Amino acid sequence: MKPIMGAVGLSMAAFAALVLVQRSAPAADNSGGPTYMDSQRVLDNFDKKNANPLIPGDGYNVQTNKRTANGNIEIHEKETDIFYVMDGSATIVVGGTAVEPKQTRPGQMTAKDIQNGQTYNLKKGDVLVIPAGTPHWFKQVNGSINYLTVKSIKP
């Protein structure tokens, strides 16, 4: 299975199904159940500082991310990232071999470069799945990019 597919392969409704997951919700009766987040609240979260995770859960969380600049190389040892691009575009390099990786905090690493990675030109509607332990790098952000991230966290 390829790690990316276009908007035709995954509609917003299908992505919403990924977000509408079972968790212990802060409901008045604390009975748990599905978590629903209306679109305006999600969109508003892109402009908030320190607003993540948007939806925390056991073994996952959902985040809103807005990038206006290129990123650093990241390697999450126990987190699979699932990106859904809401708006904007960027070039990302995924996979390959991390050059001179170093741990920045438990479970998280960075590197100086990526050799032999796959380059993707992300745009609105694209989905990218980055398995845990895979180097990735937003090499070029074209103005800005807004994307939802579902992080699946291995114990």
- Give the number of other CB atoms < 10 A from CB of residue 17: 11
Q: What are phi and psi of 60, to 5 degrees?
A: -160, 165
| Domain-wise residue ranges, the chain | 4-153
User: How far from 89 is each of 75, 121, 123, 130, CA to CA, in Å?
Assistant: 21, 7, 4, 17
What is the CA angle 83-127-124, rounded to 5? Answer: 95
- Give the pLDDT score at 33: 81
Query: Which residues, other chains included, contact 82 with Cβ-Cβ below 8 Å and sequence gap of 6+?
Result: 18, 127, 128, 129, 130, 149, 150, 151, 152
- Give the pLDDT score at 32: 67
Query: Which residues, other chains included, contact 5 with Cβ-Cβ below 8 Å and sequence gap of 6+?
Result: 126, 127
Q: Residues 45-104: pLDDT tens digits?
A: 998 888 889 999 889 999 999 999 999 999 999 999 999 999 999 999 999 999 999 999
Joined together, the tokens standing for residue 77 give 């040892």
Mean local confidence (pLDDT), 136-149: 97
Which of 60-75 are b and which e, b meaning 16 or more Cβ less than 10 Å from the residue's Cβ? bbbbbbbeeeebebbb
In the CATH hierarchy, which top-level class contains the domain 4-153?
mainly beta
Nearest to 74 by CA among 145, 139, 144: 139
- Give the pLDDT score at 30: 34
Contact status, residue 84 vs residue 148, Cβ threshold 8 Å = yes
Measured distance CA(52)–CA(50) in Å, rounded: 6
